[in-house]
Structure 1
Amino acid sequence: MPAETDTSAIHVRDATRDDLDALVALSQKTFTDKFGHLYKPEDLQAFLDTEHSLSTYRTALAAPRTLVRVAETPEGSLGAYLVCGPLTLPAEEAAEGAVELKRIYVDASLQGRGLGRHFIDEAFAWARRQEAPEMYLSVFSENDGARRLYERVGFEKIGEFLFPVGEHRDLEFLMRRRLE
């Protein structure tokens, strides 16, 4: 896949250090929009401060085996993003070289344009270039729409685990797609 793609006036490209502030803002907004109502304010803030921080995305952009892509609107704002990298999920029987689809978020204003599916296709292409035998992801157990999308593209549920959001614990489904 080329480093830059333009799809229906939305410009999909590799994220850069110049995107850091906008990427952090987008990641915090999209997570809060989708899941914020589930948590106490202090749990949500603790999660955002650690998992959706400037440091988190600065580290991802600097990591050699990590993919960070963004979708930029014609006005120049970020409206969606993708992060893939080395496997960190609790996949006990993962094949050597397995990778993780860490995040796909699309702002509500851009949903329904196929960006989520576009990013999934980019994630698979990236994983194949890494010669990864399989890709993992986790999805909130009550996020039925995302789970169904992942199943349509070949992921299967292989386990469950508790995911911390501050002091709160969510039931997450661990999913895998074999790439070989």
Structure 2
Amino acid sequence: MITIREADSRDIDALQAIGCATYREHFAAIWTTDGMQQFLDQDFSPANLEASVAARDRHLWLLALDPQHQPIGFAKLNWARPTPGSGRLGAKLQKIYLLKSQAGQGHGRRLLEHVLQRASAAGESCLWLDVLKSNSGARRFYESAGLRQIGEVPFSTDVEQIGMWVMACDLPLKEHSAQG
């Protein structure tokens, strides 16, 4: 069983380590070695992570931990972001990665369900993300969770133009207690 908890400033080193490890595992083939390192140095720099984790009104970082409390994955949500193509505001799932060794155990589903619950509880009307057009497995995973393709956006690395599918789902309205 995994534990999912909100990351805070004490988790910067863990976020950097798990972020770099999972991104390398999943995306090394679409970057040169130097390009990958430049991306990781920017995206997972301690300064950028600290600023992002501290901006709780704009971002939510979640850590997925194994039973020994070791990070096995993470997710990053950005609040109230315009959906490409429609401009509708919703929570953008910018990152959700697990170590490849953790695949097939239901951890990704559990982390995504947690993300959906947190976005709904925050009052967001939809959740959206972009997924590499070449990543058919991830696309099927998101479709099985109720997201649907609503558009596409460009994406390129230092090696190739790939493109991304934009996927989204509506979220249940946050329930309010009855006033009486």
Do these two structures clear the TM 0.5 threshold for a shared fold by scoring above it?
yes
Write the deviation string for residues 124-159 of structure 1: whole angstroms up to 9, x where unpaired: 111111211111100011111110011111111111
What are the ranges of 5 or more consecutive residues in structure 1 without an aligned counterpart? 1-7
What are the ranges of 5 or more consecutive residues in structure 2 without an aligned counterpart? 173-180
Q: Is the 8 A contact 1:86 1:100 kept in 2?
A: yes
Give TM-score, length-normalised by structure 1.
0.85
Aligned residues: 171
**Runs in 1 of length 4+ with deviation above 6 angstroms?**
none
Q: Distance in 2 between matches of 1:145 and 1:87?
A: 27
Q: Distance in 2 between matches of 1:18 and 1:135?
A: 27
Of 72, 77, 80, the residue aligned with 2:73 is 80
Of 49, 55, 70, the residue aligned with 1:63 is 55
Q: Decide whether aligned partners of structure 1 residues 83 and 92 sit closer, same or farther in structure 2, where only a CA change above 3 A counts.
A: same
Q: How does 1:149-168 map to 2 (within 5 A)?
A: 149-166=141-158, 168=160
* 3-state SS in 2 of match to 1:165: coil
Q: Decide whether aligned partners of structure 1 residues 55 and 92 sit closer, same or farther in structure 2, where only a CA change above 3 A counts.
A: farther
Shift of 1:167: 6.7
Other-structure match for 1:101: 93
Q: CA RMSD in A?
A: 2.0
Other-structure match for 2:166: 174
Other-structure match for 1:118: 110
Other-structure match for 1:35: 27
Q: Distance in 2 between matches of 1:160 and 1:35?
A: 19
Shift of 1:87: 5.0
Q: Is the 8 A contact 1:28 1:52 kept in 2?
A: yes
Shift of 1:26: 0.8
* 3-state SS in 2 of match to 1:170: coil
Q: Distance in 1 between matches of 2:122 and 2:136?
A: 29
Other-structure match for 2:177: none
Give TM-score, length-normalised by structure 2.
0.85
Which structure is larger by alpha-carbon Rg, 1 or 2? 2
Residue 132 in structure 1 maps to residue 124 in structure 2: yes
Q: Distance in 2 between matches of 1:11 and 1:179?
A: 23
Q: Decide whether aligned partners of structure 1 residues 88 and 128 sit closer, same or farther in structure 2, where only a CA change above 3 A counts.
A: closer
Write the deviation string for residues 85-110 of structure 1: whole angstroms up to 9, x where unpaired: 125576131324x1111111111222
Of 6, 11, 20, the residue aligned with 1:19 is 11
